[in-house]
Amino acid sequence: MFARKSARNLEIVHVDGGILTLESFGTGPTTLFVHGLGEGRYVWRHLLCHPDFKGRQVSYDLRGHGDSSWNPQGDYTIEQHVDDLQKVLHSLPNERVIIVGHSMGGEIALRASGRNLSKVCGLILVDCSLSHAPEVLQRLKREQSEVDAGFSDASQFRNWLSWNRPLIRASLVDQVVNSALTLENNGLFMLRRDPRLLSARVSELNYTDHNLNALDKLRHPLLLLRGAASSFLSVATAQAMIARAKCAEMCTVPSSGHGIALENPEGLIFAITPFLSSHLFDIEL
């Protein structure tokens, strides 16, 4: 899709009880990408090498996802992920950082940004809602039960994606299929994530005070992106979030729903590059 600008680097960050796996392109001031629940760093891979991005682009697998360690106690609270993100930030060179967080990754980024005031200089939340409708929880539970059953082959998972994620760019479906699945000893293909992730997430969905307090206290510039067809982040919730933040702007990305990075990557890049230029590189547009 995009011409690669440099070789990909893989790195490991040690955290309590395991490791986090990072990949990156470039050097210099950093854009750090944090994926959402149940996915992996692969959702950003086609963006990290985009030639319009300057500096260094980094993504990593959250604990319990992809190539990162599972938590032995199944501790996947937002605060545990925040602690991990702090370790990732500390592992980066002493450069300025803007964090891009999708969905749950946005909540993690929001809370972590307040703890790293000297390094973090901006925050981009990608279809991240701090208020969740009951139907969102029901959908999460339904999808969890379906994927926990496993898939007989990759084509069955591809069919599941076409039904549940119909807006994913056709050219990126194979990337998702190849990165998201692992073949287990029972002969079934399973998602590369700890099945205990959802129960930890559900227990926190109705407790938004920590997120709202973090938003009230945010001192960094904020860009909130919403997919035009998103059923996850409503217009009203997005506007309320912008109203609470001190220095915030909102952008709607067309031809996308909740999974903007995989549904309209060009639209996402178009939306965030001016913010990066202004707040990460101090370039007047």
- The domain locations on the chain are 9-130+196-279
At residue 95, what is the residue type? E
Residue 2's pLDDT is 44
Q: Which amino acid is at 94?
A: N
Task: Collect all residues with Cβ–Cβ distance below 8 Å to 41 and sequence separation of at least 6.
Answer: 21, 22, 23, 33, 35, 59, 60, 61, 66
The neighbour count for residue 159, using CB atoms within 10 Å, is: 11
Residue 89 tokens read as: 């930030």
* Distance, CA of 199 to CA of 193 (rounded, Å): 13
Of 44, 48, 37, residue with least CA distance to 232? 37
Distance from C-alpha of 271 to C-alpha of 252, rounded to nearest angstrom: 8
The pLDDT of residue 3: 43
Are 78 and 111 contacting, i.e. CB atoms less than 8 angstroms apart?
A: yes
Strand partners, 226: 252
Residue type, 274: P
Report d(CA 146, CA 127) in Å as an integer: 24
Cβ proximity of 126 and 43 under 8 Å:
no
Strand pairing report for 222-227 and 120-126: parallel
Spatial CB neighbours of 170, under 8 Å, sequence gap ≥ 6 = none
Segments of the chain assigned E as strands: 9-15, 18-25, 30-34, 56-60, 97-102, 120-126, 181-183, 189-191, 222-227, 248-253
Each of the 285 residues of the chain gets a pLDDT tens digit; together they read 444 455 789 999 999 889 999 999 998 999 999 999 999 999 999 999 888 888 999 999 999 999 999 998 888 999 999 999 999 999 998 888 999 999 999 999 999 998 877 899 999 999 999 887 788 888 888 998 999 999 999 999 999 999 999 999 999 999 999 999 999 999 999 999 999 998 888 777 665 678 888 999 999 999 999 999 999 999 999 999 999 998 999 999 999 999 999 999 999 999 999 999 999 987 544
Q: Which of 254, 249, 264 lies closest to 125, judged by CA?
A: 249
Cα–Cα distance for residue pair 110/118, rounded to 1 Å? 15
Amino acid 130: pLDDT: 87
Write down the pTM of the prediction.
0.95
Distances in whole angstroms, Cα of residue 39 to Cα of each of 62, 100, 144, 158, 179: 9, 15, 12, 15, 9
CATH number of 9-130+196-279: 3.40.50.1820
